[in-house]
Amino acid sequence: MTISNLSMITGEFLTNENDENKEKYCVLGYSIAKEIFGSVYAAYDDVVYIDARPYVVTGVLKEMGSVSSGISPDMTIFIPYETGVKYITGQNINPTITVISADINRVDMVIENIKTVLADSYANAEFTISDAGTKMEAASKSNDTLQLLLIAMAVIVFIVGGIGIMNVLFVSVKERTNEIGILKALGCSKRDILLEFLFEACFMSFIGSILGVLVAFGITPVIESFSVRVELSTQGALLSLAFGVITGTIFGFYPAYKASSLIPVVALNQE
């Protein structure tokens, strides 16, 4: 329990006596207790059936809210090891032992000591020893690489999308040159023309961002069907919308500035 940072909300955890006597006791995770009994406190001292055999619930774990080693304690049922071997798995199992080093700087030495002890105790057995720190370091490097790829993708989207908005706005300015000349002749200021086309650029990019967010929500079930974990957030959606508006503002400024700088007489005579 200490190694896995587990703590009880009610009752007690399994004991060495339970294991030695191969007793049919169990401890439930928080979520599984609520799912079976409707309440974590109602689960205590009640019975659950595993392979048609009754197991007395000696306690329920506190809610962890996180996943450890790919298995969530909240959805787990713990039984004594020897009980599991006798009634469920049989002898054909691959047990796992978790060890924590008291000094993080001596992990390599601890691993060597473990190898020596296991080799002396089980001469004909094969063992696989892995260092969680090494796995975390590898995962961290993979995460850094993924972040760089996402940043590169965002930059590409920013440039390509921005150039697209700029081209559309240049075409709009070209087709509406006479309109710009009329607006200037009627007294519209350079600032008014600039803001008009700038708002158009922002609106285009905003609509594109909304469509992108909707597509993300739509394809999420498809991606999850391939057992890929996807987490959507309101903050991410808002950031996407903001990113789109910023892109439209930056790349739409120059075409809008060119439109606002047109000379009224020249714009009116433009065909």
Query: How large a percentage of the chain has pLDDT more than 90?
Result: 28
The stretch 231-237 carries a mean pLDDT of 85
Q: From residue 112, how far is each of 101, 116, 117, 121, 263 by CA, in Å?
A: 12, 6, 9, 14, 82
Residue 42 pLDDT level (bands cut at 50, 70, 90): very high
- pLDDT 10s digits, 95-146: 777 787 777 777 788 888 888 888 888 777 778 887 777 777 777 788 889 8
pLDDT at position 2 is 67
Measured CA to CA, the distance from residue 51 to residue 53 in angstroms comes to 5
Measured CA to CA, the distance from residue 3 to residue 19 in angstroms comes to 18
Least confident of 122-136, 171-185, 245-259: 122-136
* CA 121-126-132 angle, 5° bins: 95
Residue 259 pLDDT level (bands cut at 50, 70, 90): confident
The stretch 191-195 carries a mean pLDDT of 89
pLDDT at position 61 is 93
**Whether 224 contacts 271, CB under 8 Å:** no
Query: How large a percentage of the chain has pLDDT more than 70?
Result: 95
Looking at residue 88, what DSSP letter applies?
I
Measured CA to CA, the distance from residue 76 to residue 105 in angstroms comes to 33
The stretch 14-24 carries a mean pLDDT of 92
- pLDDT 10s digits, 218-233: 898 888 888 777 778 8
The stretch 229-255 carries a mean pLDDT of 87
pLDDT at position 174 is 86
Cut 0.95: pTM above it: no
